[in-house]
Structure 1
Amino acid sequence: MKPSPFIVFWISVFWIKGVFLNKEKQVFQSPAELLIEPKDETKLTLTHQIQSYDTILWYQRSPGNTSLKLIGYVSYKAVTVESPFQSHFNVSGDGEKAAFLHILSPRHPEDSGEYFGAASMHSSYPAYFGEGTRLTVLEPEHPITEPTVKVLPPSQKECRNQKDNEKRKTLVCVASEFYPDHVSVSWQIGEKEVTDGVATDSAALRNGKYYSITSRLRVSAEVWYEPSNKFICTVSFFINETTKKNSSAFIHGEKAKDTNAMTREKYLRITQSAKLTYSVFIVKSSIYGAFVAFLVWKLQGSSGKQNY
């Protein structure tokens, strides 16, 4: 049973928007991540437990694309592989239970991307996807390289224009010089993992042979200005199906500056204010002195007329 073009189009467009979800955890795909050499052969697996569903389809999404390309499918036990993929892929299994996407040798770096299996029936029923497999075909003579991680402190100027009760500080974690780009980033404050205020790049950026990625953690100024707080950034780097290497970096919070301490700016403000106050005092004193002198002169004048 070859799925209609409507099914293929419907899946490839609307799944990206989150319409087709894993139906009650009855669709399972493995592995989640995979690194292979150009000469390697491997396979992906999709199983489902949806009653009456009889077709499993396999799709490819290339890096930077949002659309899915149909590789092939198995309906009951009948297999079809689309012509552009026949030299690189094969499909096997049973559409009612489990199906496999076989990735054949030789592979090429452009075969890297995301691969999705989906359980389906026909055009009047939705298709339900597995969670996908992220696959990288390693480039020849390019060794797997773990990331270098560092945490940058917040800018000193960040809180200047914020209200006291809204002041926030942003810490930045930078992971760089790694290959390939199978990484995830997490934050801790002390022993506690935090997710609120965390923003991580959606994808690693490649520059030359290597990748880099940044993640930001926003905390209240009160939390940052506590020297006992330890801010830890951990980058989990995928090596193979059983091994992930964690690389971490950290910084401590800093002590808030004493707002009562005498600084040059504060000294200038105080002296300028004192000068202004003294100038006003002198002017007022002069006016008062002139007024007293005027009164004395008037009184002397009145006294002289009486004596005359």
Structure 2
Amino acid sequence: MMSSCMLIFFFICSHCQVSAITFQQSPPQIVEESTEVQIKCSHNDTSLLTMLWYQQRQDTMSMTLIGYGYGTSPPNYEGQFEEQFKLTREDTVKGALIVLKANPSTSAVYFCAASTHENTVTYNDPAYFGQGTKLTVLGKYFKPGINITAPTVQVLPPSPKEWENKDRNDNTKKNKTIVCVATGFYPDHVSVDWKIDRKNVTDGVATDSAALRKNESYIITSRLRVPFKYWFTLNKEFTCTVSFFNGTHNELYSDSVYGVEAKGVLTREKYLKITQNAKLSYAVLIFKSSIYGAFVVFLVWKLQSSAGKQKD
């Protein structure tokens, strides 16, 4: 059995690596209580003889080693996990984690990992991790097909208080925060993405690390920080899309807000519009002045001509 020191060692960044090794894990699963669940794992490196399995529960967000298998040797389990799980190995690169009798406490994300030796501390070998498989177990008071509920998505504009700029001479450096709130969904298989004018953005995005349980459903929030001039661009579109796994496939739910015209604030766009209007007004004024000047000259000439004729 691995020591706790070895478990900690696995999560030192230099030993939890992402490489050219390709992992394949089972997709997300939503199951009823007392169901037996199989989560499969495979990778493409035959030199990695050890396969390990970890559990990451939402209430702790830390990874816990379930057990591991080395080559064809019988698997080793950590503590109480031997009663809840079974590790199987088809060959060096293929294996599975079996949840013997699923219950709400086994709802978690399960990670498959691989390493060269079973004792990574001694051999100083890195461990490579798969993408994880999320498992949600419906409790007895939930009825499958009825209580799987899609999210309601709402995008909120920046707070008016955030519009108040202390430095009125330098508005270009201010940011605005747009908030996306997804509520009332179950289970918590969601991800959040943002778009500006229908183009994906990641800069300035901060999404909750996990959905928050609220009674019998979940809530998750995401924030998008945008430059001052973006929000004060009339009709600029900011869209939040929530991808929700309903037990069979992902469904998308979106909401949008739109940029507004700046009031009492001289943005670059507004400045250009004002200067363009000023140039046009000035050109019209010059044209009118020229017409008026020509008319005056013509009138003077006409009067002079009339005076000359009278003298004759």
Q: Which amino acid aligns with 2:181?
A: V
TM normalised by structure 1 equals 0.74
| Contact 1:233–1:250 (Cα < 8 Å) also in 2 | yes
Instruction: After superposition, give the CA deviation of every residue in 1:237-266 in whole Å (9 maximum; x if it has no partner).
Output: 1123x5111111111111112559xxxxxx
The residue aligned with 1:97 is 93
CA RMSD of aligned residues (A): 2.3
Percent pairwise identity = 41
Number of corresponding residues: 253
Distance 2:75 2:140 in 1: 31
1:155 has 2:162 as partner: no
One-letter amino acid matched to 1:199: A
Task: Determine helix, strand or coil for the equivalent of 1:63.
Answer: coil
Which has the greater radius of gyration? 1
Instruction: Extract unaligned runs of 5+ from structure 2.
Output: 267-312
When structure 1 is superposed on structure 2, of 218-227 and 38-47 the one drifting more is 38-47
Which whole-Å CA distance do the structure 2 matches of 1:39 and 1:66 have between them? 24
Please tell me whether residue 121 in structure 1 is matched to residue 116 in structure 2: yes
Q: 1:110 offset after TM fit, Å?
A: 0.6
1:92 to partner: Cα distance: 1.3
Contact 1:185–1:234, Cα closer than 8 Å, also in 2: yes
Counterpart of 2:39 in 1: which secondary structure?
A: strand
Residues 258-283 of structure 1, C-alpha deviations (whole Å, 9 max, x = no match): 559xxxxxxxxxxxxxxxxxxxxxxx
Q: Paired residue for 1:257?
A: 263
Secondary structure of the structure 2 residue equivalent to 1:145: coil
After superposition, where does 1:1-308 map in structure 2 within 5 Å? 4-5=2-3, 9-10=5-6, 12-65=7-60, 67-82=62-77, 84-94=80-90, 96-105=92-101, 107-122=102-117, 123=119, 124=123, 125-142=125-142, 143-159=147-163, 160-162=165-167, 163-240=170-247, 242-258=248-264
Amino acid at match of 1:134: K
Deviation readout 1:114-136 (Å, 9 max, x if unpaired): 21222123230222221222221
Distance 1:72 1:42 in 2: 17
Distance in 1, Cα, partners of 2:43 & 2:255? 41
Uncovered stretches (5+) of structure 1, i.e. residues with no partner: 261-308
Q: Please list the CA deviations of residues 186-242 of structure 1 after superposition, one character each: whole Å capped at 9, or x if unmatched.
A: 1111221111111111111122112111111111221111222111111111123x5
Work out whether residues 89 and 96 of structure 2, in 8 Å CA contact, stay in contact via their aligned partners in 1.
yes
Moved more, 226-235 or 132-141: 132-141
| Contact 1:170 1:218 survives alignment (8 Å) | yes
